[in-house]
Amino acid sequence: MFCPQELFTYVNEKLFSKPTYAAFINLLDNYQRATGHGEHFTAQQLAEQDTFLREAMKTAVMKELYGFLHQQNRYSTEQEFVNDLKNMWFGLYARGKEERDSGGFEHVFSGEVKKGKVTGFHNWIQFYMQEKEGLVDYYSHICDGHWDSHPHVLALQFSWDGYYKEVSSTFIGSSPEFEFALYSLCFIVRPGKVCQLSLGGHPLAIQTYTWDKSTYGNGKKYIATAYVVSSTQ
C-alpha cells in the first residue's frame, strides 16, 4: 500500500550532535550498498569506526553490557571486548561474488541491495536521513506496541532508491548505543537464535544470524544480521 506521506514528520536534529549519534552517522556512508562490490576502508573510515566504539563505550548501556559479559567470563578486559566488537561488526566478508563486500554493521544499520532487493536496513536514523534525501519511499507500517518510555517497534514496507523491502523491522527513537548494545548482547550470548528479553516490563525478541562462510580470530563468527522481531512478522 502506497502512503503519500513520509514516515517522519519531524525529528529534532540537535539530537544528532550528541557524540554517539554523530559518530554513528559518520559510519553510514562508508559503504557501497550493492553486494558484489568489494569494500575498502580508508584510514579516515577506520578511524571513524574507532571513534564510534570509543564514544559508545562511554555510555551507561555499553558499560552495563561489558560488566555483564565480564561477569560471565566472556571478556577479561574492556579492550578485549572492544576489539571483538570491531571484528564482529566491522569485519568484512563475501556476501556476493566479490571478496569482502559486506559486513554486519553495513547490513544491519546502513542497508544493502542484493539481487535487486533491499536487505538489512534496520535503523531509524538511516531511514530518516535517506527519506530526507528523497531516496526512501515509505509505503506503510504496523506499530508493535505503544510504550510510553521506550522505543516503538515498527514493521515497515518501503523502497530505497527504487529497490523494494517487503518487510523490515526497526526501533524508532532509540539511541545508536542502545541498538548496538542490544544486538551485540544477543549475538554474543544467543548467536543465530531468537533472544528473548524484557524491556521496561515489555517482552522483546531479537533475532541474530551468524555468518558461517568465514571466521575471524580463533574461529569466531561475524554478524550476518540482527533485528528486532516484530509480532507482525
Indicate which residues carry an active-site annotation. Answer: 107, 122, 165
Q: Record the cell numbers describing residue 162, joined without a space.
A: 527504487
Residue 66 · residue 82 · CB < 8 Å: no
Q: Name the 3-class secondary structure at 151.
A: coil
d(CA 108, CA 112): 9
Outline where 29-172 has alpha helix (H). Answer: 43-56, 60-71, 78-90, 104-105, 124-132
Residue 30 contacts by C-beta under 8 Å, 6 or more apart in sequence? 41, 45, 48, 106, 110
